Amino acid sequence: MSSEKKLKAKVLREMKPEERSELLNQLRAELVRLETQRARGFVEKPGRIRQVRRIIARILTIEREEELKKAKSRS
CB-based contact 21:45 (threshold 8 Å): no
**CB-count burial class (<10 Å; 0-12, 13-18, 19+) for 8:** exposed
Residue 56 lies in a domain: yes
How far is residue 2's CA from residue 63's CA, in Å, rounded to a whole number? 20
Q: Which residue has the higher pLDDT, 38 or 72?
A: 38
Instruction: Look up the CATH number of the domain holding residue 21.
Output: 1.10.287.310
pLDDT digits (tens, 9 = 90+) for 25-53: 999 999 999 999 999 999 999 999 999 99
Query: Which residues form the domain of 65?
Result: 9-73
Q: What is the pLDDT of residue 4?
A: 56
| DSSP for residue 3 | T
Residue 1 lies in a domain: no
Q: Per the confidence metrics, is the pTM higher than 0.75?
A: yes
Residue 3 lies in a domain: no
Residue 2 lies in a domain: no
